[in-house]
Structure 1
Amino acid sequence: MTSIGTCLAQGSARLAAAGISGARKEARLLLAQATGFALETLIGYPERPVDDRPKYERLLARRAAREPLSHLLGRREFWSLEFTVTRDTLDPRADSETVIEAALARIADRSAALRIADLGTGTGCLLAALLSMLPYASGLAVDRDPAAAAIAAHNFVALGFGGRAQTMVGDWGEALSGKFDLVVANPPYIPSGEIGGLQPEVSVYEPRRALDGGRDGLSALRRVIAGLPALLAAGGTAVVEFGDGQGVAVAGLIVDAGLCVVARRRDLAGRDRCVVCESR
């Protein structure tokens, strides 16, 4: 029977050969998934035998084929919260935490009963992160894909926000009524012709509808921004994520929509990642 140490050594080598950075860490996570062992056990007891080697090998094969680790584990962390993820949702990314930081910076009273809309919610990560910081806020999460909306609803309940978060299937904000104090959105913004050049984890396994921003990457952004004036309450704020090099164009769309650009925020890599705007 193979030991933990041998499984980790062989798994790490296989993943490294497939071009995966952090191969040792990922091999450990996959072995924990396959065996149910705690990570502390995998680190502290390398001599312990592994009973379910075939399950581990199947997970390694899928990861070596560049299926995302999050899909194999069924979860991904965002804003220190754990989200269920599937092939129907875009993986939450650390870059998008910039949206949360920008939104919170505009809220003077975090105890206010704010109403939030999350357009194109996916896993629900943006709305859930905001609700975790705004204890009296409530929100509505919208996604045009019923499977993604169902995952968001599951995550809200699992994280304890089921009583403050609703989900609906719709196309951006077009089906919404009423006004919102805060609107957040992470629409698809990758130009169609660039998707094939992305890492396989993204181009092959993530939903294209959540990536493809049309020929210039701005198709969904145009629709989202054009609808913001009808959604924002007086003095309301919107925070919209965009792609590398799109900041000037997105700011122009916001001005054309009759809104006021307040700021652009950079992500951890120093790239412009989102724009903050307000109703006039």
Structure 2
Amino acid sequence: MAQLFLIATPADATCTDALRDLLTAQGYGIWSLPAHLDSGSASYPSALERGIRGSAALVLIWSAAAAGDEWVERMVRYGQQLKKPVITLARDATPLPITLVDAPGLRENGDLAAAVTRLVPLLPPPEQDDLLLALLSHEYIREQKRGIAEAVTLIQRGERREELLAMLEDLARHSLYNTVAAEAQQALASLSGQPAPEAPPAASRHTFGVRCPKGHVSWYDKREVCPASGTIPRSTVRKAGQDLDELLLPCRTAGCTETVVVRVDCEGYT
């Protein structure tokens, strides 16, 4: 079955629990934090990331409370980094994050069961299994290595290139297992000489979209805006235990003078 990852703030726990039950009844698997972990655990961030890595899609339960939750922001950003579909379920009129420029979604309007009926067509089919995601997020090193080898095969066939390259790059930088990180790095090295068509902005693992206050959408390439040697004004902030670059980016729509402040994980691009 397809696994989903629910992104929510603890303040929306009642809605999250009800949504979990409704989606489970539709045939989905819902990722759960291991019982022995909580937000104070040292392995909490890596557990969340493994859950996102192994999920076919993310469902963001959005609200005023979620807008102020640093961990919600971190999970959304990580999911986007791995090119995961993010589907939003809004509980109130709080504006969505400015980087969710193309995320499908809907508003709950007080009837969660009815909202789920409208939500399901936006999700991957519940019967969809993805062994590769399960391998890449597996607790055993040998299974993760199997997943890396299968990812390379798919990329060489031209399938799921940007998604799988993003996952390999993440494993190479952040895996808790040195042998897995080394295996992912070797896989990337073996693929580096292969020509590939440039992906459109929305698909490329290097790009992110931003909506300015006037509603215009601009796309930015991390390879251009992240290097510290560039001209983009920036500062460094720490959010949910992670150091981020806070970039001041101009809207790229002709005639628009708006600028936006965007928190970006520039690791690997500086």
Superposition TM-score, scaled by structure 1 size = 0.29
